[in-house]
Each structure stands twice: as structure tokens, then as C-alpha cells.
Chain A
Amino acid sequence: MTTTAPVADQLRLVNAPATLWRGTGQDLRDVVASRELLRAFTSRELRTRYKGASLGWAWALVRPLVMLLVYGLAVGVFLGAGRTTPQFMIFVYSGLLAWTLFSTIVMGSINSLVANGSLVSRASFPRLLLPLSVVLAALVDFALQASVLTVGYLIYTDWPSPSALVWLVPSLLVLVLVAMGVGLALAAVNVYVRDVGFLVDVVLQVGFWLTPILYSYSQVLGGAEQLKLSAETVSRIYMLNPMANVVIGFQRALWPAGDTPSAAAAAFPGRLDVRLAVLTVVALIIAWLGMRIFVRLSANFGQEL
């Protein structure tokens, strides 16, 4: 078998340098061109995560469900939030879903490069694929975790209306874009300064409690009153956290009891639609910036890992 290899088209620049501003289109084209590899990385991510564990996929559900039970008991029963918030378990689970997805994407992206260090230092492929595969795998987990909600709806025989579910679209979009942008930028920095992973772990802990997952928005205002602060100022600062907006959007979509008069007092009164529209633009900028920082720093990943 002596065939002559065809002469490949063109001399290409190996490892073409990227600048902060230029090359966005090329990077997106590279990702699209390598979509098979993206799929391969994603399926590896999903397949290997629970390999060797006899419960396998069920582990994706164990963590959020256990947290739900603990919070339901500690916050819902002991602290009494369950008496003021109807269908408290569904309320908490809606927020937990959003937060779990967010922290999985951020932490997973950060770890994706170091975890694949031997591959990154030896083979050349669009580095973006590693964190992107984490995002896709996290979305699969999210879909699985979200499906558990149907059990809750069956128990309460109360289903979210289709018009409520629409809130999921902008909320999810903002969540994924922000998590991706932050995750990409920090993943790149983490290659050079390994403290990032630990730092982010702490920041995520703080963020969890600064997001209305276990308490409702109205309780934030109540707290402001207690501290003798202007409710308006507190609300304005509190809502600067994109995840606070996202979680409230998740609750509007997935927590049917939020529509009832008894829960109306707990709900966010402002224009969530406007806020999410603005946040979508902000999130796009964050995602773009994160990607540029990542690509800008990626040329030497191979030597640092």
C-alpha cells in the first residue's frame, strides 16, 4: 500500500497569538470545527464521573436531595421558615437547582485544566473545549436534578403554569453565561496561580448565603429594617448579585405556590423581566470577557501544567 499523501492545503501558523480584542470569531469557529472533540470530552466527563460507583448516576441526585432534606429540616422546621413559606421544599429546591448548576460550572471549569494537565501539555487542541465540556456535562446533571421536581409537584398536586416556566429561559441563560465567563477567566488564572480554586470555594460559600435560596426576598428587607438600614439601599445592593436575580427567576418558574396570595408578600416586587433583560446583556459581556482572558492566557498552558 504505497499511496502518496495529498499535499495539504496551506501553511498554517502554529499557536497563532491571540490578543484580548481580536480573534473572537476565529475561536468560535475553532470550537464549532472541533465539536466532535467537545462531544467526546463531554461524554468522557459524564461517563467517568460515576464509573466504579455501584449507584452510578444516582449520585448526581444524592447531593442535592440530601442538602434539600437537611435544609428542609433545619431551616424549614427548626427555624420555622416552612410555616411562612408554602411548599417550602419546592421553594428551596428551585434555588438549590440554580446554585448547584452555577457552582458546578464555576468549580468544574477551574479544575478542568489542571485535571487534564498531562493532555494539555502534550496535545494541541482548542483549550476552550475543556471548560465547555464541563458546562455541557453540568447541564445534563441539571436536567436530571430538575426532573426530581415532578415528584414534588405530584405530592403537592400543584404544577407550574407554562407561562411561569418561561421565566426559566432568561434565568438559565444568565446563569450559564455568567458561570461560564467567571469559570473561564478563573480557570486560566488558576493555571498560573493555584490559589484560585481555594479562594473561589470560599467565595461560593459566601455567595450561597447572599442568594435568596433558603430565605425569601422579603426576609432580606425585614433584616434591613432590623439593622436600621434603608430597605431600598439594601435591596439595590443585594440585587446586584446576578445569582439573586437568577434564583428569584427560578422560583417564579418552578415554585407554583409563589402565585398564591399567601406567598405574594415573600416575592420580589420589582420588574424582574427588565432586570433579566439587562442581565442577559451583562452576562454576554462577562462570558465574552472570560473567554478572551482564557484564550489570551492559553498559549502557554502546556508549559505550566
Chain B
Amino acid sequence: MPVAIRFEDVSKSFRLSQTKNLKEMLLGVAGHRVRSVNVQAVQHLSLEVQQGESVALLGHNGSGKSTTLKMLAGTVAPSTGRIWARGRIAPLLELGAGFHPDLTGRENVFLNSAILGISRQEVARRLDGIVDFAEVESFLDTPVKFYSSGMAVRLGFAIAVNVEPDILLVDEVLAVGDEHFQGKCLKRMDQLKSEGRTTVLVTHSLDQAASFCSRAVVLDHGQRTYDGPLEDAADAYHASSRSQTVEPSP
């Protein structure tokens, strides 16, 4: 199987308490040092994922797993190193982040799909499948602001999995939604897996990872401490220190 994702010595550091306004900036220029902290979110991460693999990124808060996923999604640029990916990447937008509250469900499906790079004709073709999956038939022409949070999440997930991504990125969103829908999501993700698509799942629940992934990568303070079969990941995961650093929330 060809390589789907490749990280080449990727590092990411954030400067916390960056100058956010003109006043601080001018003070900085004037010689008053504005205090800032460098946080190494990800350090020298090299990684290869084969097409069709399902990988769980495990780690505690502040381990850098979300940052890793964001760099892969292309919303955050690595400080050093390079990331390669093959095909269409569909990040599962958290809680319908791409939804505009004043637009109807239908309009948002088209907008969200366009963001994922799907043409109008293709969306029109898949609309029934998306609506079916999300179970929002009767609300399709209702503005999304009247949706319950569960409905919005379902619609967001339905779009992401129905556009046939080559690489699906899932960031703990499965924690939301009722059991019935979670089961449905896992089933759909299994189906995507059997079609040879690649999935990266970020989670701190070993159980959830176990139900879907065969390989685990454990991150601890931005460094990889384990990479191998999921069954043997538990030790590394529990060993990874719980000492709390602030997770920089980009």
C-alpha cells in the first residue's frame, strides 16, 4: 500500500502571550520586553501512515495530539519540517464549526462540502445519503440555528464521511451524540476503512481507539513515546506523564 501521510521531522512551537495589540508591540520596540513563553507543542515528529491504516493519536491534555492533527489538516503550519499527504483530506469539523446559523441545513451542506472541495453536482448526488445519515430530513430547510447541538454534530459528521475522503481526521467529536449515532458513526468509519481509506483519530479514550484502530501513536509533551499495535499502547499511554502543561489552543 502506498504512503498516505508522511511527517518529516515536524516541530511546532507556540509563543504564548504574543503581542496582540499595537500598544504592546510599540512597548516591545521601545525595549520593554513583553513576556512571552515558548511552548514546544510537537517535537521532531516523523511518521508514516500507509493508505488504509487507522491510526489513533493518543495522549493526555497538552501532549500535542490536536496540534498534530491541525497541522495535518493544514490549518496550522509547522515551525520546521514538512508534512505530505495523498488525496482529499476531510477534517471532521467540530460541532458544525463550518455551519452558518442563518443558513438552512441544505445550504450549509453545500457550503460545507464546497469547503471540503466537492462540486455542487457531486453534493446534489450525495445529498440524500447525507440527510439520511444525519437523520435531519424534516429540518433540511430550517436554519441551522434552530438545530439541537446533536443535530448539528450529526449533520457535520454526515457530510465529512459522505464526501468519500481519502483521509478522514476525527478529533474526539465522537464523544458527542447519543449511543445510537455513535454506533452508526463507527460503522460508517469501518466501512470507509474497508474501502481502503485512511483515518486518523485523536482521542484520550483507549476504549474508543480500540474499537476502531489497529495502530496507536502515543504523544507525550510533544514527543512520540510509542508507535505500534494498539493492544500494546496502554502501558506507554499510562506512563506518559500527567504533569500538566497548558495546551496551547490555537
Contacts and interface: CB of A to CB of B under 8 A. Distances in A.
A40 B110 contact: yes
B97 interface: yes
A299 B77 contact: yes
B176 to A, nearest CB: 15
A3 B208 CA distance: 26
B186 interface: no
B87 to A, nearest CB: 3
Contact of A119 (B97, B117, B195): B97
B20 A14 contact: no
Nearest to A7: B2
A31 interface: no
A37 B250 contact: no
A13 B103 contact: no
A14 B25 contact: no
B93 A303 contact: no
A17 interface: yes
Interface string A124-142: 1100000000000000000
Given A12-B84, A14-B74, A48-B103, A118 B97 contact: yes
Contacts of B71: 14-15
B86 interface: yes
A3 to B, nearest CB: 6
A303 B116 CA distance: 19
A122 B114 contact: no
Contacts of A1: 191
A47 B103 contact: yes
Contact of B98 (A52, A122, A300, A303): A122
A12 B107 CA distance: 30
Interface string B58-102: 000000000000111111111000111111110101100110101
B97 A10 contact: no
Given A5-B166, A302-B76, A14 B84 contact: yes
B249 to A, nearest CB: 9
A5 B103 contact: no
A200 to B, nearest CB: 13
B197 interface: yes
A13 B82 CA distance: 7
A113 to B, nearest CB: 13
Contact of B85 (A12, A118, A125): A12
B75 A122 contact: yes
Q: Among the interface residues B73, B74, B94, B166, which one has the most CB atoms of the partner chain A within 10 A? A: B74
Interface string A1-22: 1111101111111110100000
Contacts of B34: none
Contact of B117 (A34, A39, A118): A34
A199 B21 CA distance: 12
B219 to A, nearest CB: 18
Contacts of A2: 191, 194-195
B223 interface: no
A177 interface: no
20 contacts: A8-B87, A9-B87, A11-B84, A11-B86, A17-B77, A37-B115, A40-B111, A48-B103, A52-B102, A119-B98, A121-B70, A121-B75, A123-B73, A123-B75, A123-B93, A124-B73, A125-B117, A193-B19, A303-B14, A304-B250
Given A44-B107, A119-B115, A193-B22, 8 more contacts: A5-B195, A15-B83, A37-B115, A41-B111, A44-B111, A47-B107, A119-B98, A193-B25
Interface of A: 1-5, 7-15, 17, 34, 36-37, 39-41, 44, 47-48, 51-52, 118-125, 192-195, 199, 299-304
